[in-house]
Amino acid sequence: MRRFVKIGGKFFLSAEKTLRDSLGNSKMTTLEHDFIEFALKARVLRFGEFKTKAGRLSPYFFNAGLFNTGSLLDRLGAFYAKKILEKRESGELQFDMLFGPAYKGIPLVASIAINLSRLGLDLPWAFNRKEKKDHGEGGTIIGSPLTGRVLIVDDVISAGTSIRESIAIIRDNGAIPAGVAIALDRMEKGGNAEEVTETSAVQDVEKTFSIPVVSIANLTNLLEFLKSGSDAAQEFTSHTEAVTAYRNRYGA
């Protein structure tokens, strides 16, 4: 059924319907499409030639540190919140509180908690400090005490070091790591430019700790976006071949 919205007394075909038509048989959701568009407009997601920590030359780069204004951080938190609620309602995620590892996870966890509360889910949240404080409230955990099932929120998983440290912190405080939510899953095998492992860092975390890792969007969604034919994608379609070649070589 075709959906219409009323604007100024006139009816127009809804943007969501138009988008779904342009996506055709794509499995990408409107949320995933809109997040990629948002990241591109904010210049957080860029195309070009970038050297990764693994020494690979990547045709795209995602730098969540560039969500660096109040409005950008708030909207980023809204995307996280919607994806987290979607996974909670499907049963894929079950958790009692949120944890953001220092340092990038700190503004993320605050924004996500605020946006979840706007959507009717008011949860406790916490973050850690890198150096233990021996005065005032002391300790390394700020915010709510770590209890119950804890969802870790971070920007990406590269080597997985931050997530492993977070899991250790959660367990040391008697709580249970329940899952991880990230912004973008590169779906990229580990290793370096020449030697490639069989699995990605995300897959390693899921297998090692038996917890789910969910992302707002992933590399598959990025390629679907580039091929979607939507107005937002037109400017970037020339990068499709390079991203596809990179995935063929390093994709998990």
State the Cα–Cα distance between residues 39 and 43, nearest whole angstrom: 6
Which of 230, 213, 227, 133 has its CA nearest to residue 178? 213
State the Cα–Cα distance between residues 14 and 5, nearest whole angstrom: 6
Which of 167, 162, 129 has its CA nearest to residue 150? 167
Taking each helix axis from N to C end, the angle separating 70-90 and 105-118, rounded to the nearest 10 degrees, works out to 70
> Mind telling me the catalytic residues?
133, 135
Which of 131, 117, 251, 107 has its CA nearest to residue 183? 107
Task: Tell me the residue length of the chain.
Answer: 252
State the Cα–Cα distance between residues 247 and 220, nearest whole angstrom: 9
